Structure 1
Amino acid sequence: MISLHSHIDDIAAADWDALAGTQPFIRHAYLAALENTGAVGKHSGWTPCHIAIRDADQQLTGAMPLYRKTHSYGEYVFDWAWADAYQRHGLDYYPKLISAIPFTPVTGPRLLAKTDATRKHLLAAAVAIAQESGDSSFHLLFPQEAELSIAQSARLLARHDVQFHWLRGDWRDYADFSDALTRDKRKKLRQERRKVSDAGVNIIRKRGSGISEADWVFFYRCYSNTYLEHRSTPYLSLAFFLQIASAMPQSCLLVLAYQDGQPIAAALNIIGPDRLYGRYWGAAWGPAGYVANLHFELCFYQGIEFALEEGLDAFEGGAQGAHKLARGFVPVATQSAHWLAHPGFSDAIDQHLNREREAVASWQSELEQHKPFKSS
C-alpha cells in the first residue's frame, strides 16, 4: 500500500532509519529538524509529500523523501533555464516534484528499500503522483549510482555534474598527505596555513556535546553573515542547528577560529560513518579585521586533518569550487535524473542533456590531468 505524508513524523523514525541507512542527511532526525523549524513546509516553497510503501502487515518496506516545489532554490542542480523556457512558451514549470535532501548537494540514498523491486515501485509512484497532480516534472537529485540506473531504465533523463572531494590515499597523517602533493601545491598550502598562524589565529575543533549553545549562537551569526554578504537570506534557522545538535550530536563537528581570545569564524561539518561533509562557514571579524586564507584553513585543511585522524575515506567540501583542486581535492561525478510531462520539452531537454553530459565528461577528463599530486 502506498501513502503520502505531509510530515516526516507521520512515519516512525525507527522504521524510516531501518531503510535509510547511516548517512546523516537521510536520517529521520535530520529531515524532521528541517520540517519542525520551518526550513521546509509552509511558505518555504518546499511542501513535504513523502512516499511510504507498506506490506500487508503494515510494515514499512519502502520510503522516499519527496517535496513539491514552487521554485528551484536550495537544490544545486540548476534548472532555472528550463523554467524560463517553459515561461516563454506560456507553460508552468512550477509546481514540480523532487526527491532530494533540501539545501544539501550530497549524493546518497533516495529510493529507500531493501530490494530493487521496491525501489522501482517508489520511482514509478513518484512519477505517477506528478502525473496525477499536474506537476510539470519529477526530479531525483544526487541519487546513488544504482538508483540512477533504475531511473534510466524507467526512461528518466540522466544529468551529470562534477564536485570536488578529498579522497583518502595511503597516508598516515597530514604530513604524509602534504608530501604527496606536487612541490608548488605543497608550497601553496604551507604558505596559506602559515599566514593564518602568523595572524595569531588559534583553531579549535569541537564535537558533539562539546559544542556549547554559545558556540552554536556564534556559528549562526557567522553563517548568517555569509548570506548577508551575498545579499541573500539564510535557508536555515538557529533553531534548526540546535535541534540537530540535540538529536544527532555525534554527527556535528564545529571548527572555530579565535584571535586574541575571541571567536572570529566558524565552519560546520557533518560526520558520516565513512566520510566528512563540509556544510557551512562564516566569519564575524574582530578588531584586526579580515584574515587571509582563513576560509581555506577552516573549510579545507582542518577537515582533511580530521578525516585522516578519524580514518575516514573521504571529505566532501560541498558543491562547485574548482579552486579545491589545488588544495588536495579531486573531481568526482555527481548525477540526477529527470522526468518531464511535456513530450516536446522532454525531447528538447534530452537532446540538451546529451550535449551537456559530453561537455561535463570532457571537463572532468581535463581536470583529471591537473590533479595536485605527484606522478606515481
Structure 2
Amino acid sequence: MTSLYSLAHLRDLAAPQWDALVPAGQPFLRHAFLSALEDSGSVSPQTGWAAEHLVLERDGQVRAVLPAYRKWHSFGEYVFDHGWAEACERAGIAYYPKLLGAVPFSPVSGPRLLSAEPADASLLLQALPEYLVKGELSGAHINFTDSALDQQMMGQPGWMERLGCQFHWRNRGYRDFQDFLDTLASRKRKQIRKEREQVAGQGIDFHWLRGDELDPVRWDFVYRCYANTYAVRRRAPYLTREFFSLLAERMPEALRVVIARQNGRDVAMALSLVGGDSLYGRYWGCLDEFDRLHFETCFYQGMDYAIAHGLQRFDAGAQGEHKLIRGFEPVLTRSWHYLRHPGLRRAVDEFLQQERDGVRAYAEQAREMLPYRRG
C-alpha cells in the first residue's frame, strides 16, 4: 500500500530515515541542515516558510521525500517569480500560497526528490497535481535540480523548465594558486596578484577553522558579520543566531569558516560547507570596510582551500559576473514549475521559452569573457 502525506516539522521523521535517502556529498539536504533551519525559527509560518515536506510511504517504509514549504511570498528562493505573482494579482488570480521544493536560502543545485528507487520518486511526482488541488496551492516549484531529476522532469505533463546561470570554479589539478594563475592571460593574472597584494598590504591574514573549532564567542562574531551584510541594506537577515549554533552542534564536520584578522582582531569571515568533492561558499560579512577584502575572503581563499584539500569544485554563491574575470565559469541551473491556472500556465510557458534562449546566449557570451589563455 502506498500513501503520500506531509510533515509540518522535519523532527517528526527520524534523521536516519531521512538521511538514508540523501545521496553522499549533499550537506544541504541532510536532516541536520534542514531541521536547524526549522528549529532555529529561520524557517517558520511566521517567516512565510511553513514546512510541508512530502513523504511517500509504501508498505510501512519511507520510500521517497521532497523537502518542501508552503509559501506566502517569493523571497529567499533565488529563482525569481515576483513578476508572475504581480501579474496574478492584477488579474485577480491567487498566486499564494504555493508549494516550493527547495533548500531555503541556498541556491545550490542537487537532488530534490529523494528516493530509494527512481520509481518511488516518479510516484511522488505523479501525485503532486492532486496534492496541490487538495491543499489549495496555486502550483509547485522545484528549484535548483540536478541532472538526474531534470531527465525525469522532461516530458512530465504540465511541468515547465526554467534556466538560470551561476558561476563555479573548477580545480583542474592545480598544485597551488600560482599554478592556477599561470593558466590566465597576463593582464588578468596581474590583476588578481594586485588584489591579493592590496589585502595583504593592509595587514590582514587569514585562518581556516572547522565547525568544531569555533567557540560561542567566535560564532557570535560570525553571526554579526553575516547580519551586517543585511544591515547595510537596511534589511533583516534571513537566518537567526541559533541557526549557526545548531549547525555547529549537528554537522560541525561539514563547516569551514575562514576568519580575516588585522593586527590580531577579527574583521571579516566567510562560512562554507564541504560536501563530496565540492566547497560551497554560503555566508560572508565584515565589520569594517577594507579594499578588495570581499574578493580575497569569498573567492581566493576558497580557491586556495580547494586546491590544498583536493576539492574539484568551488560554488561561491548565486550571483556575480565579477566572478568571471577570476576564473569562475558559467554553469546553467534548472528549476521546474507546475501552475494549476491554465491561462497563467500558457503565459508563463511562452515567457520561459524566450527566457531560456536568452539565458543560453548569455552563458555563451559570458564564456567568452573568461580570463584563461587561449591556444
Shorter chain as normaliser: what TM range?
over 0.9
Which residue number corresponds to residue 17 of structure 2?
A: 15
Whether contact under 8 Å (1:100, 1:140) holds in the other structure is: yes
Following TM superposition, by how much is the alpha carbon of 1:123 offset from its aligned partner in structure 2, in angstroms?
Answer: 1.5
8 A contact 1:152–1:337 mirrored in 2: no
**CA offset at residue 60 of structure 1?**
1.4
Matched, 1:240 2:243: yes
Q: Which amino acid counterpart does residue 276 of structure 2 have in structure 1?
A: P
Q: CA deviation at 1:366?
A: 0.8
2:5 & 2:136 partners in 1: Cα distance?
18
For structure 2, the 5+ residue unaligned runs are: none
Structure 2 residue 153 is matched with structure 1 residue 151: yes
Q: Does 1:371 align with 2:347?
A: no
Q: Secondary structure at the match of 1:88?
A: helix
Q: Which residue in the other structure is 1:200 paired with?
A: 203
Q: What is the deviation of 1:171? A: 1.6
Among candidates 189, 192, 209, match of residue 192 of structure 2: 189
User: 2:173, 2:307 within 8 Å by CA — same for their partners in 1?
Assistant: no
What amino acid is the match of 2:71? Answer: K
The CA distance in 2 between the partners of 1:226 and 1:46, in whole Å, is: 22
* 167, 178, 186: which one aligns with 1:164: 167
Deviations 1:302-344 (A, max 9, x none): 0001111111110001111010001121000100000001101
Paired position in structure 2 for 1:328: 327
- Structure 2: which amino acid aligns with 1:49? E
Q: Deviations over 1:30-56 (max 9, x none)?
A: 000001011112301011111112221
Is the Cα–Cα contact under 8 Å of residues 21 and 27 in structure 1 kept in the other structure? no
**2:320 is matched by which residue type in structure 1?**
G
**1:319 matched residue in structure 2:** 318
**1:271 shift after superposition:** 0.9
Query: Matched residue of 2:47: which SS?
Result: coil
Q: Partner letter of residue 85 of structure 1?
A: A
Q: Give the equivalent residue in structure 2 for 1:59.
A: 61
Q: Aligned-pair distance for 1:101?
A: 0.2
Q: CA deviation at 1:189?
A: 0.6
Partner of 2:70: 68
Alignment partner of 1:179 is 2:182:
yes
Deviations 1:116-165 (Å, cap 9, x if unpaired)?
A: 21111122233321122221111010011121222222130000010000
Q: Which residue of 2 aligns with 1:213?
A: 216
Give 3-state SS (helix, strand or coil) of 1:148's partner: helix
Q: CA deviation digits over 1:259-282, x for unaligned, max 9?
A: 121111111111112100011111
Q: 2:115 aligns with which of 103, 113, 116?
A: 113
Secondary structure of the residue that 1:166 maps to in structure 2?
strand
Aligned to 1:136: 138
Give me the whole-angstrom Cα distance separating, in 2, the residues matched to 1:371 and 1:302.
20
State whether structure 2 residue 293 is matched by structure 1 residue 294: yes
**1:337 aligned residue:** 336
> Secondary structure of the residue that 2:300 maps to in structure 1?
helix
What is the alpha-carbon distance in structure 1 between the residues aligned to residue 23 and residue 17 of structure 2? 11
**Segments of 4+ moved more than 3 angstroms:** none
The equivalent residue for 2:128 is 126
Structure 2 distance, partners of 1:316, 1:49, is 28
Match of 2:80 in 1: 78
Give the paired residue count.
371
SS in 2 for 1:43: helix
Cα RMSD, aligned residues only: 1.0
Amino acid at match of 1:12: A
Give the equivalent residue in structure 1 for 2:95.
93
Secondary structure (helix, strand or coil) at the match of 2:21 reads helix
**Distance in 1 (alpha carbons) for counterparts of 2:128 and 2:69:** 10
Q: Name the CA distance, whole Å, in 1 between partners of 2:28 and 2:193.
A: 33
For residues 353 and 127 of structure 1, the distance between their equivalents in structure 2, rounded to whole angstroms, comes to 21
TM-score by length of 2: 0.97
> Structure 1: where are the runs of 5+ without partners?
none
Q: Which amino acid aligns with 2:351?
A: H
- Cα deviation for residue 246 of structure 1 reads 0.9
SS at match of 1:153: coil
Q: Which amino acid aligns with 1:281?
A: W
Q: How far apart, in 1, do the equivalents of 2:120 and 2:367 lie? A: 37
Deviation by residue 1:240-289 (Cα, 9 ceiling, x = unmatched):
0010011100111111111121111111111112100011111112xxxx
TM-score normalised to structure 1 length: 0.97
Secondary structure at 2:227 match in 1? helix
Q: Distance in 2 between matches of 1:126 and 1:101?
A: 18
Matched, 1:274 2:277: yes
Letter in 2 for 1:207: R
Fraction of identical pairs, as percent: 43
For 1:106 and 1:72, locate their aligned partners in 2 and report how far apart those are by CA, in whole Å.
17
* Shift in Å, 1:114: 2.7
Q: d(CA) in 2 for partners of 1:118 and 1:263? A: 49
What amino acid is the match of 2:48?
Answer: G
Deviates more, 1:191-200 or 1:113-122: 113-122
